[in-house]
Amino acid sequence: MSLEPLLILELAVLGIATGFLAGLLGIGGGMVMVPFITIIMGHRGVPADLAVKMAIATSMATIIFTSISSVRAHHKRGAVRWDIVRRLSPGIVIGSLVGSLGVFALLKGTALAIFFALFVGFSATQMFLDKKPKPTRQMPGTAGQLGAGGVIGFISGLVGAGGGFISVPFMTWCNVAIHNAVATSAALGFPIAVANVAGYIVSGTNVQGLPAGSFGYIWLPALVVIAACSVFTAPLGAKAAHSLPVKKLKRVFASILYLLAAYMLWKGLAG
């Protein structure tokens, strides 16, 4: 698969858009990248099953870069809850490795696409309902956050996202302010991405039929172009996140997730 000008342009536009969304919504951009990388690879002859897996892995790899760019902008505004990051990260690493090294390699790409769609649709519904948490509810203790981190890391590894679609609703449910939740989710994207990428590389090492430029399940041309573009727009999204009202921010988040869930459900069922 050659890196022709049209492909570079497609990947650059995707990087610009996902970088902005990473900063705006704290989702690492993965919810957008997975469907579009699947489309791009499918149009270039990569089988659907393999295209979905490589899209998930490549999306996760770009989050390493977008999370750094996004979290710097959020940190300057004092919005990141580093105490939550420290407590959730150990469980995130464990859950990520279990998902990317084991379950991801065993499941078919079409099954992963359906799982992606169903879980993202559920997350979007929770955000749209905007249920108010009990005023007394707080983040759980160290053991509870270890377990929550494990769930976030495991599911993120199966769908190629930075975990914001789980961690943002979870934190707001525990009465963490939405802007703090988005900023903290951006910071959590880094340990999620690093642990999962290691798993994707190992589990994809001996897979047959990978396109040129692959490193395990990661498609390096897409990683380079998307990451190079997204790091510039992530801070712009982070700035916008602090100027939008809470309800509008949640509705934007949920609307995007619904659209992408519908596409991936169709992709999984059609495959």
Residue 52 CB coordination number (10 Å)? 31
Tokens of 153: 């890391």
Distance CA 81, CA 30 (A): 22
Walk along the chain (271 residues) and give the pLDDT tens digit of each residue. 566 888 889 999 998 988 887 777 656 566 778 888 988 998 888 888 898 899 999 988 988 887 787 788 788 888 899 999 999 999 999 999 888 887 887 888 888 888 888 877 877 787 777 666 566 667 888 889 899 999 999 988 887 777 777 788 788 888 888 888 888 988 898 898 899 999 999 988 888 888 888 999 999 999 999 988 888 887 788 788 777 775 677 677 778 778 878 877 887 787 6
Q: Which stretch of DSSP H or E encloses residue 248?
A: helix 246-270
Reduced DSSP (H G I as helix, E B as strand, rest coil) percent helix, strand, coil of the chain, to 5: 80, 0, 20
Cross-strand bridge partners of residue 214: 219
Q: 70 with 238: CB under 8 angstroms?
A: yes
Domains of the chain: which residue ranges?
5-270
Residue 54 CB coordination number (10 Å)? 27
Tokens of 210: 């990978």
Q: 24 with 252: CB under 8 angstroms?
A: yes
Q: Residue with structure tokens 């009465």?
A: 175
Q: Name the DSSP class of 85.
A: H
78's torsion region: left (phi>0), alpha (psi -120 to 50) or beta?
Answer: left
Distance CA 137, CA 47 (A): 47
